[in-house]
A = this chain, B = another copy of it.
Amino acid sequence: MIRVGVIGYGYWGPNLVRNFVEAPGAHVVGVSDLRNERLNLVRSRYPAVETTSDYRDLVRHPDIDAIAIATPVSSHFELALQALEAGKHVLVEKPLTASAEQAERLIDLAERQQRVLMVDHTFVYTGAVRKIHQLVSSDELGQIYYYDSVRVNLGLFQNDVNVLWDLGVHDLSILDYVVNQHPRAVSATGMSHVDGQPENIAYLTLFFDECIIGHIHMNWLSPVKVRRTLIGGSHKMIVYDDLENSEKVRVYDSGITVNNNADSLYQMLIGYRMGDMWAPRLDVTEALQTEVRHFLDCIEHNQSPITDGHAGLRIVRILEAATRSLAGRGQLVELPSSDP
């Protein structure tokens, strides 16, 4: 039985608590939050769970083995650091930390303490992304040409991080998992439309050693919600639309036709899709359930999670580089060539 404490019961915390409560082999010991009305909610839902407004009560708790952190980014490092120092396993909401240097320190500490450090890159655990990973890994798409994602909606402006750190992290974590390559440089542009606030619209291009290009399109000010990713390969291409009810992942066996003949151009314009389309059945298990059980498994079997500290670090490095490029209006910013 792994005993769990959860820090933060705002937007995401209740989902973590619910999934730990329902996971076999886990027991939720306590929840902390600074707001008393959130703790009241915990008490009404889970009378047996301890509540506290001081996270240190959980970090120091002798009956807690693992800590899940669902607080604003700026506090991730300090909370995770204390939890690891106290010998707890740690699951941190995305992004892992506010800087690469912080992420490196957590990775080191977790290794020294021999504890699991996992970042909550939730999308990696969805049926859709796992299916895409499988299709790419089994070489069904052929050589990968591009990853191109639009993730926009009319959301509230956040005032502590820009849209890259909020919406972009989802695509970066999917890209990191699905494409077995790491970007070497980024170019980002964007803008803030509210004085003194972080950028609410941003565009990020990622360059790789291979002939792959990545692009992410983020906007907090869109009148419509879009969650659509195109992944192009030399044999097949994928459209992943997370707002589709049924066919979230569609696989097209379209290929490149290099043809200088004017007549066939005309023909292309009429029937531009070249082959069949196929939408595989997806596992509909809630992603966070899969993720929480993976975290528990890793603790139990002393293994490294799919979204370990290094995955978290890679994403934070890209976010840092992208933020610098944004300030330079698209200026190319190189990324370190390897993850030490």
Chain A interface residues (CB < 8 Å from chain B):
10-11, 45, 47-48, 145-146, 148, 150, 152-157, 159, 185, 187, 189-191, 193-194, 197, 201, 203, 205, 207, 211, 213, 215, 217, 219, 221-225, 230, 232, 234, 237-239, 243, 245-247, 250, 252, 254, 256-260, 262, 264-266, 268-282, 284, 325, 328-332
Contacts and interface: CB of A to CB of B under 8 A. Distances in A.
A224 B239 contact: yes
A213 B189 contact: yes
A265 B155 CA distance: 8
B205 A11 contact: no
Given A146-B221, A266-B11, A276-B280, A189 B190 contact: no
A16 B280 CA distance: 35
A293 B219 CA distance: 38
Contacts of A325: 330
Contact of A211 (B150, B187, B191): B191
Contacts of A187: 187, 189, 329-330
Nearest to A160: B260
Contacts of A260: 159
B225 A262 contact: no
Nearest to A325: B330
A12 to B, nearest CB: 11
Contact of A217 (B217, B223, B237, B273): B217
Contacts of A329: 185, 187, 207, 332
A140 to B, nearest CB: 14
Nearest to A45: B45
12 contacts: A150-B150, A154-B254, A155-B269, A156-B264, A194-B256, A219-B230, A222-B232, A246-B272, A247-B277, A271-B284, A273-B281, A329-B332
A232 B221 contact: yes
B205 A272 contact: no
Contacts of A191: 145-146, 211, 213
Nearest to A329: B332
A33 B272 CA distance: 26
A193 B256 contact: yes
Contacts of A237: 221-223
Contacts of A265: 11, 156
Contacts of A197: 258
A126 to B, nearest CB: 13
Contact of A279 (B45, B201, B256, B277): B277
Nearest to A211: B193
